[in-house]
Amino acid sequence: MEDTVDHLAHERSKAQFNVEEMKIIWAGSLHALQVSDRIAKLVASDPGFGKENRAVLSRKDLFKSALKKAAYVWKRINELGLSEEETSWLRFYVDELAYDYVHWGMFVPAIKGSATEEQQNKWLPLANTMQIIGTYAQTELGHGSNVRGLETTATFDPVTDEFIIHSPTLTSSKWWPGGLGKVATHAVVYAQLITDGKEYGVNGFLVQIRSLDDHFPLPGITVGDIGMKFGSGAFNSMDNGVLRFDRVRIPRNQMLMRVSKVTREGKYVESNIPKQIIYGAMVYVRQTIVADASIALSRAVCIATRYSAVRRQFGSPQNDQNGNGIETQVIDYKTQQSRLFPLLASAYAFRFVGEWLKWLYTDLIQKLEGNDFSTLPEVHACTAGLKSLTTSAAADGIEESRKLCGGHGYLSSSGLPELYATFVPACTYEGDNVVLLLQVSRFLMKTISQLQSGKKPTGTTAYIGHVEHLIQCGCNVKKAEDWLNLCVILEAFEARAIRLLVACAENLTKFANPLQGFSELSPDLVEAAVAHCQVIVVSKFIEKLQQNIQGIGVKQLLETLCYIYSLNLIHKHLGDFLSTRSITPKQASLASDQLRSLYAKVRPNAIALVDAFNYTDHFLGSVLGSYDGNVYPKLYEEAWKDPLNESVVPDGYHENIRPVLKQQLQNARL
């Protein structure tokens, strides 16, 4: 078994496409590939970024080591004079959560998005040099999804020209902000603005929470860590925190005043900058989460695919009954393929839709700057829906990848448990996935209802404009190969989505009270919203295929993946497709046949397709997924590093094992 290095080489030699070209496709451009590759190697070769065994550390030691690594990241960025692009790759490849993640990912963007130019000029230089470290304090113990329900108050005091930030109840305690627990010196705090005796809704305030001299919390501030979270390692290197204010005063000009402000006299004034621009920030963050989903899923798939090619279990039919001789690689079992290859296809699908979302965001910003808000609702719904769809699928896919590795996937050294624990909260933060789908469905119902008034849906909802055709069209597939037609696939998805949507819209009219109807039908509406989001993913994959794609075999493989992604979804949601009569049972069975042939096409290319992600062993952090496939010696070696193996006889033997064996428990002090 020690010859598995050769084994993956053999797998690689079977690839029927140009892996280097595929790497460019995955990276987005040759430039992106080159930069990321250079930084990945830099990180992997620097012992300061070594991934020591985080899983075995106590909370305190884990946190301390994360502090150290974050400081080292900042040091290296400055020493090496990295560009912004290089810096973000460096953070990406270092792959450890710490306070800086929220500082750069949420605090700085919040200032950029909501502060006036004057405020930005004051605060950004400090934040950009980390002379202050910030967090984003929105969620409270009692309110997360319902932001309008936040209870923290910011009451203007015209006498002193200050806001009084206060936590009136236990449930108003800020709860969850990353970096808040032990590190952040400042926070953007969301609170109910009260001035002139009136409430003006939730606004952001920049509040210093710790002294820059000795790091002690400022007077009136109670702050701490909210404790351990899912998994070992993962988010536990991050100090998500709790924060309470006892009438803390801040200068008036620390209200973030880009869209509305309070004057010296205490008047609440809205600026001429439209409120909608705050949606721009949401679109931005969610777009990055879609990108994260494809990364996280592709990491898991890379590990599971490589391990499935190394792992052999049971004799192949060619061998003797005793299972002797060379056993079958588990990747050759069709059940393994039918679980693994759709995930591989999803990783690519999410990558491409994420790339498109990035473009969409840039496009949106341009439009907003030109005071064109027309596409905002559609873009917002699209991003919310895709965030929900991709994070749910990626989280489930990571766990499935782990199970595909059998028992060994359950070891921390497989890398999969921590990957899951780190990624899965993306289903909850930045909008609970179900709450988001409800928003999407609300938007879609509106889109449908406006059809009558002649409003033409655009962008990702354009297909809804073809409702008449899509409601009555029939799928033409007569034999399995007929499914290898991107137009046929797309139409089936569009037909299913629109028929579900129209059915919801019709059912809604049966309720006298529309709100009650929406509530009653909400499970159906969520399913219809998912169907719509799948149309987007499939159509963006197809659009990608229509681009100029270089390299032998690259386009063919991507097409195969696109078909696998789509046909597998048809199989998974077959109830939808059949009940809406978008396809027939016979066509469904042909789709399954076709899917089997597609798996066979992917099989020889599987390893090369995950190689194309270009992940270093350092980044993967998995003994099961390492590039050379030398799994067993690595698993073995890794095990011995556990602190329990430092001594042959374990700590506690004399107190708690020997007395059991010697039947001397009566006297033992327990």
Ligand X SMILES: Cc1cc2nc3c(=O)[nH]c(=O)nc-3n(C[C@H](O)[C@H](O)[C@H](O)COP(=O)(O)OP(=O)(O)OC[C@H]3O[C@@H](n4cnc5c(N)ncnc54)[C@H](O)[C@@H]3O)c2cc1C
Report the interface residues with ligand X, using CB under 6 A.
Answer: 102, 106, 136-139, 144-145, 176-178, 235, 240, 311, 313-314, 330, 333, 335-336, 404, 406-408, 410, 425, 428-429, 432, 434-435, 438
Total residues belonging to the chain? 670
Q: Near a copy of itself by CB under 8 A, which window of 376-384, 451-459, 485-493, 649-657? A: 649-657
Cβ–Cβ < 8 Å for 200, 155: no
DSSP result, 452-497: TTTPPP-GGGGGGGGHHHHHH------SGGGG--HHHHHHHHHHHH
Number of residues in contact with a copy of itself under rule CB under 8 A: 154
Using CB under 8 A as the binding rule, whether residue 275 contacts a copy of itself is answered as no
Cβ-based nearer residue to ligand X, 433 or 539: 433
Torsion of CA 502, 503, 509, 510, to 10 degrees: 170
Cβ-based nearer residue to a copy of itself, 51 or 182: 182
Torsion of CA 566, 572, 577, 580, to 10 degrees: -140
Angle at which helices 486-508 and 522-545 pack, to 10 degrees? 160
Using CB under 8 A as the binding rule, whether residue 601 contacts a copy of itself is answered as no
Site for a copy of itself in 548-587 (CB under 8 A): 571-581, 585
Cβ-based nearer residue to ligand X, 429 or 511: 429
Cβ-based nearer residue to a copy of itself, 324 or 452: 324
Using CB under 8 A as the binding rule, whether residue 181 contacts a copy of itself is answered as yes
Residue 333, judged by CB atoms within 10 A of its CB (0-12, 13-18, 19+), counts as middle
Smallest gap, in angstroms, from Cβ of residue 627 to a copy of itself?
20
Nearest-CA neighbor of 113 among 269, 289, 259, 238?
A: 259
Q: Which does 56 bind (CB under 5 to 8 A by kind): ligand X, a copy of itself, none?
A: a copy of itself
Q: Is 430 a catalytic residue?
A: yes
x/- mask, a copy of itself, residues 366-405, rule CB under 8 A, reads ---------------------------------x---x--
Using CB under 8 A as the binding rule, whether residue 236 contacts a copy of itself is answered as yes
DSSP result, 603-614: GGGHHHHHHTT-
Nearest-CA neighbor of 25 among 385, 559, 386?
A: 559
Cβ–Cβ < 8 Å for 336, 404: yes
- Name 284's bridge partners: none
Using CB under 8 A as the binding rule, whether residue 183 contacts a copy of itself is answered as yes
CA distance 56 to 74: 25
DSSP result, 206-222: EEE-B-TTT-PBPTTEE
HSE of 232, CA atoms in CB hemisphere, 13 A = 12
Q: Which does 413 bind (CB under 5 to 8 A by kind): a copy of itself, ligand X, none?
A: a copy of itself
Cβ-based nearer residue to a copy of itself, 37 or 638: 638
CA distance 410 to 482: 41
Q: Near a copy of itself by CB under 8 A, which window of 36-44, 228-236, 268-276, 447-455? A: 228-236
Cβ-based nearer residue to ligand X, 321 or 546: 321
Structure tokens at 246: 């006892």
Greatest C-alpha distance within the chain: 91
Using CB under 8 A as the binding rule, whether residue 141 contacts a copy of itself is answered as yes
CA distance 259 to 203: 10
Smallest gap, in angstroms, from Cβ of residue 198 to a copy of itself?
13
Cβ-based nearer residue to a copy of itself, 160 or 474: 474
Cβ-based nearer residue to a copy of itself, 379 or 381: 381
Mention every residue, 6+ apart, whose C-beta is less than 8 A from residue 660: none
Q: Which of 96, 430, 494, 559 is catalytic?
A: 430
Annotated binding site: 139, 178
Q: Which does 129 bind (CB under 5 to 8 A by kind): ligand X, a copy of itself, none?
A: a copy of itself
Cβ–Cβ < 8 Å for 381, 293: no
81, 197, 407, 454: residue in contact with a copy of itself (rule CB under 8 A): 407
Using CB under 8 A as the binding rule, whether residue 421 contacts a copy of itself is answered as yes
463 secondary structure, DSSP code:
G
Is residue 2 classed as helix, strand or coil in its secondary structure? Answer: coil
Q: Near a copy of itself by CB under 8 A, which window of 15-23, 153-161, 408-416, 475-483? A: 408-416
Cβ–Cβ < 8 Å for 49, 69: yes
12, 51, 122, 229: residue in contact with a copy of itself (rule CB under 8 A): 229
Q: Near a copy of itself by CB under 8 A, which window of 34-42, 64-72, 370-378, 382-390? A: 64-72
Site for a copy of itself in 520-539 (CB under 8 A): 520-524, 526
The distance of Cα 212 from the centroid of its chain, to the nearest Å, equals 33
Cβ-based nearer residue to a copy of itself, 604 or 633: 633
Q: Which does 78 bind (CB under 5 to 8 A by kind): a copy of itself, ligand X, none?
A: a copy of itself
13, 16, 34, 129: residue in contact with a copy of itself (rule CB under 8 A): 129
Name the CA radius of gyration of the chain, rounded. Answer: 27
* Terminal Cα distance for the chain, rounded: 46
Using CB under 8 A as the binding rule, whether residue 670 contacts a copy of itself is answered as yes
Structure tokens at 14: 């079977």
Using CB under 8 A as the binding rule, whether residue 81 contacts a copy of itself is answered as no
Smallest gap, in angstroms, from Cβ of residue 116 to a copy of itself?
25
Q: Which does 44 bind (CB under 5 to 8 A by kind): a copy of itself, ligand X, none?
A: none
x/- mask, a copy of itself, residues 29-48, rule CB under 8 A, reads -------------------x
Compute the C-alpha angle 54/56/60, nearest 5°.
Answer: 75
Tokens 């929900």 found at: 388
Annotated binding site for FAD: 139, 178
Which residue number places its CB atom closest to ligand X? 144
Catalytic (active-site) positions: 430
